[in-house]
Amino acid sequence: MKSKMNQLFEDQKNVHVLYSYNEKENYIKQVLSYIQDGLAAGDYVILIENDRIYPIIHRELSARLAKEQMEFIHFVNNFDFYCSSGSYHPPAIEEYFNKTVQPYVENKISFRSWAHVEWATMEEPLHIIEDFERTVDEAVNLLSFPLICAYEGARMPDYLKKILMETHPYVLTDDDIITSEQYLPSIDVKK
């Protein structure tokens, strides 16, 4: 039986999902499942992850996948991705993202992405996350690819949770994917 998430990705490719995780073990389980499901669907996977968790994921995948399958996974260090300009700066992040996906888009290669969103302090990016997540939501719809944005639940104040629920049409829980009732499409927000 197909998972609800796999069915959703088959029905539509432009899926922007929020995953608020609390336990590292569940987080890794979700990443591994997402990557394996993507490879089974014929997608390349862009994994934006930190350099502390990536070796664990890589080790698990290496034990489960053939060497040829591992070549379909593109690792991007999330610190480099989110702080390529020296701080959390959305235009620089967008430029980095566009360079990363350009070969897939130009060659009409199916891909999906997983982004582990982290920063040094809670104060730094809160005021710009909403604009950035709206830009990301537009990119997901324009380029038609699935993206899961993973945030550590313990580091999310209520204000951030509200923003993320409004900017992600879907929410991944440890055992299901649900529609966000608070989601506000960019078109609605700009009115």
Burial class (CB in 10 A: 0-12, 13-18, 19+), 16: buried
Total domains present in the chain? 1
Closest CA to 46 of 118, 133, 104: 104
CA–CA dist 173, 78 (Å, integer): 22
Q: Residue 176 pLDDT > 50, yes or no?
A: yes
Complete DSSP assignment for 80-127 = HHHTTTSS--HHHHHHHHHHHHHHHHHTT--EEEEEE---S-STTTHH
Q: Summarize the confidence of residues 120-138 as an average pLDDT.
A: 76
Region 154-164 average pLDDT:
90
| 57-104 per-position pLDDT tens digit | 999 999 999 999 999 999 999 988 887 666 666 778 888 888 999 999
Q: What percent of the chain shows pLDDT beyond 70?
A: 88
Q: What is the CATH number of the domain that holds 123?
A: 3.40.50.300
Range of the domain at 20: 4-190
Partners of 150 in the beta sheet? 19, 116
Spatial contact of 101 and 81, defined as CB atoms under 8 Å apart: no
Q: Which two tokens stand for residue 162?
A: 């509200």
The torsion angles phi and psi of 123, rounded to 5 degrees, stand at -70, -35
Please state the φ and ψ torsions of residue 21, each to the nearest 5 degrees. -110, 155
User: Rounded to 10 degrees, what is the CA torsion of 174, 180, 181, 183?
Assistant: 160
- Give the pLDDT of residue 1: 37
Q: What is the pTM of this model?
A: 0.91
Instruction: Determine the average pLDDT of the residues in 138-164.
Output: 92
Bridge pairing between strands 147-152 and 177-179: unpaired
For the chain, helix, strand, coil in percent to 5 are 50, 20, 30
Query: Which pLDDT does position 121 carry in this prediction?
Result: 57
CA distances from 124 to 41, 118, 121, 127, 182 (A): 37, 11, 6, 8, 24
